[in-house]
Amino acid sequence: MISRIAHSPTFTTLELQFAAGESVLVQPGCMLAMSTGFELKAGFGTHMAGQGGIARATRSMLAGENFVTALYTAKREGERLTLAPDQMGEIRELAIHPEAQYCIASGAFLACTPGIQITLEFAGVRGWLATRGFFLMRPQGLGSVFVSSYGAVVEIDLKEGERYVVDNRYIVAFSASVRFETVKVADSLRHSYLSGEGLVNRFTGPGRLLYQTRARPSRGFLRGMLDIAT
């Protein structure tokens, strides 16, 4: 499969070209255009490893992703598929292998190759405060994961022991080697909240950190759950 990220930075799309029999797993509703030689199957959270259909779907919802996923398989050589996230921003390809492991924040997953299985890591209350969900997505295996942002993507390579603070709502992904914790932006909790920042995420290297330049609009808890389930 050949991938190309086009029309960046604002209206970014992911263009894929396939050999016969190759496939990609996609968040529903992201198909912009395609040639006619694809077999399409929908499943319940099928990129989640180690669970049955409904259990996978439930875990997908907890990770902030859609209740179902779509599997596109090319029936002929040279088939083309173009994907577009539902919000303006950028797309990044994360190459996954044993030496490159990532944590992906809620809502950032766009697509992945079949060699990837995604598990969920419980992040506790700090995860809810810092990454928009109680769970972080952990892709494993060999292949690629495509993530999308709201706004531009900023990438930082943190050195050993180097610290960096990012507001809760802007995280896209970070290396599994990076340690994160929820901290006050100021010494005083009062000043932290009066400043409009409250609690933020502090990352400690080594590893790679990706964050977005805009925060996705808040939909509220109930509306967000209903949107995920549709």
Task: Return the structure tokens found at 43.
Answer: 């499943």
Q: Which of 31, 57, 38, 58 is nearest to 46 (CA)?
A: 57
d(CA 79, CA 184): 50
198 has pLDDT over 70: no
Asked if 48 and 86 count as a contact pair (C-beta separation under 8 A), the reply is no
- pLDDT on residue 48: 45
In order, the DSSP letters of 57-76 are HHHHHHTT--SSEEEEEESS
35 has pLDDT over 80: yes
- pLDDT on residue 185: 59
- pLDDT on residue 181: 84
Host domain of residue 223: 2-228
4 has pLDDT over 70: yes
- pLDDT on residue 113: 94
What is the rounded (10 degree) CA torsion for 106, 137, 13, 96?
160
Cβ burial of 30 (10 Å; 0-12, 13-18, 19+) is: buried
- pLDDT on residue 197: 52
Asked if 154 and 224 count as a contact pair (C-beta separation under 8 A), the reply is no
Q: What is the mean pLDDT of residues 118-141?
A: 66
70 has pLDDT over 80: yes
Higher pLDDT, 210 or 202: 210
- pLDDT on residue 193: 47
- pLDDT on residue 125: 53
Q: What is the mean pLDDT of residues 30-40?
A: 96
Number of domains the chain contains: 1
Q: Rounded mean pLDDT of the chain?
A: 80
- pLDDT on residue 169: 82
53 has pLDDT over 50: no
Q: Which of 125-129, 137-141, 212-216 has the lowest mean pLDDT?
A: 125-129
Looking up residue 75, the CATH number of its domain turns out to be 3.60.160.10
